[in-house]
Amino acid sequence: MTRDAIFMDGKVAIITGGAGGIGSCTARLLASRGAKVAIADIAHDAAEKLASEIDGAIAIALNLEDEASVEAMIADTVAHFGRLDVLVNNAALLGPDIAQADNDIETMSTALWDRTFAVNARGTMIGCRAALPHLRETTGNIVNTVSNLALQGHMIQAAYSSSKAAIIQMTRAIATSHGKQGIRCNAVAPGMTMTPALREAFPVPLREVVEGESLLPKLGQPEDIAEAIAFLASGAARNITGQVLTADAGCAVHVPGLIGFRDLFAGVHA
């Protein structure tokens, strides 16, 4: 694999949710590989601080519930840098209060369902729609951050997982509609990733259950997901489109009841 396939010299990338755990790691990684980055986040002060630490980066205030804000993110980036090569749709509605309220469908509030889809699915769609004409000019690509919960059933986070499943289908639709124009569209599906927001939203006992289901010694770090995003955004993935790269330490690939089987066989072999 050549340096040109991995590095992104001269490319311009937008990272939504760019001031958060996965987003900030992605912004730093893409910049380290030569890209000019626009850090878009509703937390504008945090985005500006991060941008000040990355050579050539800019910060953009972004509200994914506001169509004009999303369209301005694309327009302002192109106006500043003169082009757009990569759109990383990483932002999502996920915080301690949201996580606690987002349970099963029977207890789901319509307002929470609608807001989750407005931010996650609708906001991502608007960003893709505004970016596509510019990506056509540069033979660029889109990477959407989804979730392994979009691939599995769970007793919690019904709205979040459903909205991320919608983004997976959107990923396939864009890849199919625009592939012949040279535009790739892929998704990364993280498992539980040890971001500051996750540590705040999910208690230790819950994290320990997921860690037990992992096939690797530890849960993923934001840097791990950033590497997956950077790969799909790079020329190294030039023949990959319409795909979901699951980066969840193997949680989604094994049979149910892994923890129980481990405990059972540990007793047999004790």
The catalytic residues are 160
Distance in angstroms (rounded) separating the CA atoms of residues 81 and 207: 41
How far apart are the C-alpha atoms of 119 and 112, rounded to whole Å? 11
CA-CA distances (angstroms) from residue 128 to 58, 162, 227, 228, 232?
20, 19, 22, 20, 16
What are residue 184's phi and psi, to 5 degrees? Answer: -100, 150
Which among 215, 221, 166, 211 is positioned nearest to 190, based on CA atoms? 221
Helices assigned H by DSSP within 149-221: 158-178, 196-201, 204-213
Q: How far apart are CA 178 and CA 132, in angstroms?
A: 9
Contacts 24+ apart (CB under 8 A), 207-211: 209/259, 210/251
Q: Is 86 exposed, middle or buried (0-12, 13-18, 19+ CB in 10 A)?
A: buried
Token readout for 173 is 């639709």
260 Rama class: left (phi>0) / alpha (psi -120 to 50) / beta:
alpha
Alpha helices in the chain (DSSP H): 3-6, 21-32, 44-52, 67-81, 96-101, 110-117, 123-138, 158-178, 196-201, 204-213, 222-233, 258-268
CA separation for the pair 174, 182 (Å, rounded): 11
